[in-house]
Each structure stands twice: as structure tokens, then as C-alpha cells.
Amino acid sequence: MKLKKYIPNLLTLLNLLSGTIGVYFAVKEELVIAACFVFLGIFFDFFDGFAARMLKVQGELGKQLDSLADVVTSGVVPGIVLFQLISKSVENVTWENAVKSVLKIGNEHYFTNSFFISLIGLLVTMGAAYRLAKFNIDERQTSSFIGLPTPAAALVVLSLPLILDYSGNEFAAGIIQNVWFLIGLSMLLCYLMNAEIPLFSLKFKDYSWKKNKIKYMFVILTAILSALFQFIAIPLVILLYVFMSTIENRMLKKST
């Protein structure tokens, strides 16, 4: 029995485990801890594919398992986090109180308005699931992406509690605690994940500057933004990723 063929799937399962733990902490309103487990899951998600390519053991099972794990880590957890943030921004309604109102509906209790508004955050979960299902049957996305990858969308969402807790930037905190910003972000990420927007992958076929200058510039600018803005850099980097992918697409069209 060749044990090496199980290594990528083990990493994928560690991604799923990290996401599941992240769900627990997100529901408990421990959003920073939830963010840490999502970041850990995304780390495993990157290396399961890397390991599969290095060991030459890619297969349909690993592909499907990877998407199932990503639904949890990069779909369910971000959706719950946005639910929590929107709830707090509306009228400081906790997840626990919202659930109680649901369970007691038979005793003349009703859904609160804040609960319905907070459900908008779960659009990210549905958008991620739809994108991952579409990704598995889309043969165009072998060396690049069409639409924002779910881990990138998850990074944007999970950066928000980290910015609130650690950045000390009152302007950024004010934006994040604005319900209209959170609702708009939920809708925007759902759209970007499923939009027909070509985005480059950081997989290198060769390492020449001429063929990869946009990717190298992106990596350099990411390092600069991270050094200057710490956690605030995460959503900025994702915006930069979309912007530079657009530039690369235009350059390719002009060259052809």
C-alpha cells in the first residue's frame, strides 16, 4: 500500500477539521479564534493541492473532498461571522438570542427584524457552495480562476474581527461596524465568487520575469501592504488581486 497517496487527503481533512472548529467558535462569538482556525484551514487547503501535485497522486476523490472541506472552512464560517457582525451592528442581538426566538415561535414568539437582516451574511455561504460546485465541473479553471476563490473571500471576512480587535484604527472599525457596509460586502463577495471574471493563479509554470511580472508585482505589493497596514492589508490585498488580474487580462488581450 502506497501511503503517499493518502497524504493530500489527510491535509484536506485537517482543513475540514480546522473549519469545523472554526464553526464552533464563530457560533460562540469568539470570532478572532474562529479566524485563526480558518487561516489554519486555508494553510492546509493550499498544501493539500501542492502535495498532490508533488506526489503525483491527483484524483477525483481528492478534488471532491477538497471542495467539501472548503464549503465549511471558506463558506460556513465566514457566513456565520458575517451573521454575528451584522447582528451586533443592528441592535447588539447575539446568535443565542436569535436562535431562542426561532425555537419559541410556537409560543407566539417571532423572528426579530435583526435576525432576518443578519441572514444576509449567509449569502457568502451559499455563494461559496455554488462556486465550489461550479469549479469542479469547469474545465477552464486549471491554471487560473474565473471568479474570486472561496479562500480569498473567506480571508476578507475573517480579517474583519482581527481589524476590530487589533488594528486600533477607529476609521476602519467604524466602517466594519456599519450594517450597510456589511450587507454590501456580503452581496459583493457572493457576486465576485461566481462572476465571470478571469483571475490569475499564483501557480508558476516558469519563474521568468517577462511571463510573470504581474504576479511578481502582486507579491511585492502584498508584502509592502502587509508591513504597512497589518490586518487591514488583507482586504486591500484581495482588492489588489482583482485589480491586477484585470490589468493582466487587458494586457493579454492587447498582445493577441
In a domain, 10, yes or no: yes
| pLDDT band at 5; cut points 50, 70, 90 | confident
Which pTM does this prediction carry?
A: 0.86
Question: How far is Cα 35 from Cα 7, in angstroms, rounded to an integer?
Answer: 25
If asked whether residues 184 and 219 sit together in one domain, one would say no
DSSP state, residue 139: T
If asked whether residues 90 and 102 sit together in one domain, one would say yes
pLDDT digits (tens, 9 = 90+) for 134-192: 888 877 766 678 889 999 999 999 999 999 999 888 999 999 999 999 999 999 999 99
If asked whether residues 179 and 239 sit together in one domain, one would say no
What is the model's pLDDT at position 246?
Answer: 86
In a domain, 138, yes or no: no
Mean pLDDT (whole number) for 82-89: 93
How many domains does the chain fold into?
2
pLDDT, averaged across the chain = 85
224: cell is: 509592502
What is the model's pLDDT at position 106?
Answer: 47
Return the higher-pLDDT residue of 29 and 112.
Answer: 29
Question: How far is Cα 117 from Cα 64, in angstroms, rounded to an integer?
Answer: 33
| pLDDT band at 111; cut points 50, 70, 90 | low
CATH of the domain at 92: 1.20.120
Asked which of 196, 215, 238 is the last residue of a domain, the reply is: 196
If asked whether residues 97 and 34 sit together in one domain, one would say yes
If asked whether residues 13 and 48 sit together in one domain, one would say yes
Asked which of 171, 196, 221 is the last residue of a domain, the reply is: 196
The total of other beta-carbon atoms located within 10 Å of residue 220's CB is 10
Question: How far is Cα 4 from Cα 8, in angstroms, rounded to an integer?
Answer: 8
Cell match 488594528: residue? 167
H/E stretch holding 55: helix 31-55
Mean pLDDT (whole number) for 50-69: 80
If asked whether residues 96 and 212 sit together in one domain, one would say no
What percentage of the chain reaches a pLDDT higher than 70?
86
What is the model's pLDDT at position 215?
Answer: 85
If asked whether residues 83 and 203 sit together in one domain, one would say no
Decide: 118 and 81 in contact? Cβ < 8 Å: no
Q: Which residue from 22, 21, 31 is spatially nearest to 165, judged by alpha carbons? A: 31
182: cell is: 456589511
| pLDDT band at 38; cut points 50, 70, 90 | very high
In a domain, 85, yes or no: yes
If asked whether residues 178 and 210 sit together in one domain, one would say no
If asked whether residues 30 and 127 sit together in one domain, one would say yes
Q: Taking 90 as the threshold, does the pLDDT of residue 78 lie above it?
A: yes
Question: How far is Cα 89 from Cα 68, in angstroms, rounded to an integer?
Answer: 31
Q: Taking 90 as the threshold, does the pLDDT of residue 247 lie above it?
A: no
Decide: 20 and 8 in contact? Cβ < 8 Å: no
SS3 146: strand
Distances from the Cα of 127 to the Cαs of 89, 132, 143, 157, 244, in angstroms?
22, 9, 22, 13, 23
Question: How far is Cα 87 from Cα 116, in angstroms, rounded to an integer?
Answer: 9
Decide: 197 and 153 in contact? Cβ < 8 Å: no
The total of other beta-carbon atoms located within 10 Å of residue 232's CB is 19
Q: Which domain holds residue 26?
A: 3-132+143-196
If asked whether residues 16 and 58 sit together in one domain, one would say yes
What is the model's pLDDT at position 137?
Answer: 84
In a domain, 137, yes or no: no
Counts of helices then strands in the chain (DSSP H, E):
12, 2
If asked whether residues 211 and 175 sit together in one domain, one would say no
Q: Taking 60 as the threshold, does the pLDDT of residue 107 lie above it?
A: no
In a domain, 24, yes or no: yes
In a domain, 166, yes or no: yes
Question: How far is Cα 231 from Cα 156, in angstroms, rounded to an integer?
Answer: 10
In a domain, 234, yes or no: yes
| pLDDT band at 93; cut points 50, 70, 90 | very low
Asked which of 154, 178, 196 is the last residue of a domain, the reply is: 196
Decide: 244 and 213 in contact? Cβ < 8 Å: no
Mean pLDDT (whole number) for 55-71: 83
Q: Taking 60 as the threshold, does the pLDDT of residue 57 lie above it?
A: yes
Q: Taking 90 as the threshold, does the pLDDT of residue 49 lie above it?
A: no
Question: How far is Cα 69 from Cα 126, in angstroms, rounded to an integer?
Answer: 14
Mean pLDDT (whole number) for 241-254: 81
SS3 256: coil
Return the higher-pLDDT residue of 97 and 82.
Answer: 82
Residue type, 76: V
If asked whether residues 189 and 228 sit together in one domain, one would say no
In a domain, 238, yes or no: yes
